[in-house]
Amino acid sequence: MSDNHKLPLVALISGGGTNLQAIIDGAVGDLPVEIRAVISNRPDVLGLTRAENAGIPTRVLNHKTFPDRESYDQALIELIDEYQPGLVVLAGFMRILTPGFVRHYAGRMFNIHPSLLPKFRGLHTHQQALDEGETLHGASVHFVTEELDGGPLIVQAQVPVRDGDDAGTLANRVLQREHLIYPLAIRWFAQQRLHLAGNGQVYLDNQPLQQPVLFTPGQEIV
């Protein structure tokens, strides 16, 4: 597939960027995206180095240099739109977004969240799952809407919670799955097989998703 047919994408990060790395690795392979920029709200994070190593332009827009959330998000829109992305992916971007920002990218912004939404929105999801005595945990990819971690779900992956797990071991197990389902959802979108209708309904291959696709390792989902 030539670059002309690749989906232009901008990724927003705040940290280590292992999900970003999975997308970069996909793009080096056959994931039909062109990562036009990686933008971080924090300087000196490992995710920026990952992008630089892959030859992807990086930008830092430090939220600490803005007086309020509105002015930051407006500047972020202007920066992102320099790259004219067809899709914005939040890849560990640890910021609450203003409604105006979310509306600007309606239907073309994804987030990945480390829980089986609607369970455990917000932070510390792994500890929450342990505290609740869950035996199944996982990750979700969803379209971003104004409701924090509440947008329409696309795909989920489950992992078992094992005896002796702590938040760290559980986070690692979930991350391995995140690295599979985020590129998968991006692939569907890039192939124009996935879209969000105005009523909030997600469609995959022209079928309304009644529930998120459940990713099962070993089972080929194309």
Of the pair 20, 185, the CB lying nearest ligand GRF is at: 20
Asked whether 115 and 125 are in contact (CB, 8 A), the reply is: yes
- How far apart CA 131 and CA 152 sit, in angstroms, is 26
Closer residue to ligand GRF in complex, CB, 5/124: 124
Number of DSSP helices (H) and strands (E) in the chain, helices first: 6, 11
Task: Indicate the helix (H) or strand (E) that contains 139.
Answer: strand 136-143
113 is annotated as an active-site residue: yes
26 is a contact residue toward ligand GRF (CB under 6 A) = no
| Cα–Cα distance measured from residue 48 to residue 210, given in angstroms and rounded to the nearest whole number | 37
Residue that has been written with the tokens 């099962």 in this structure: 216
Decide whether 18 or 98 has the Cβ nearer to ligand GRF.
18
Asked if residue 114 binds ligand GRF (CB under 6 A), the reply is yes
Residue with nearest beta carbon to ligand GRF = 92
Which of 7, 9, 10, 19 forms a contact with ligand GRF (CB under 6 A)? 19
Q: Compute the least distance from the CB of residue 17 to ligand GRF, in Å.
A: 5
3-state secondary structure of 93: coil
- How many binding residues for ligand GRF (CB under 6 A)? 15
Does residue number 113 form part of the binding site for ligand GRF (CB under 6 A)?
yes
Strands 87-90 and 207-208: unpaired
| Binding residues for ligand GRF restricted to 156-195, rule: CB under 6 A | 175, 178
Q: Which DSSP helix (H) or strand (E) runs through 33? A: strand 33-40
Residues that bind ligand GRF (CB under 6 A): 15-20, 47, 91-92, 112-114, 139, 175, 178
The residues assigned a catalytic role are: 113
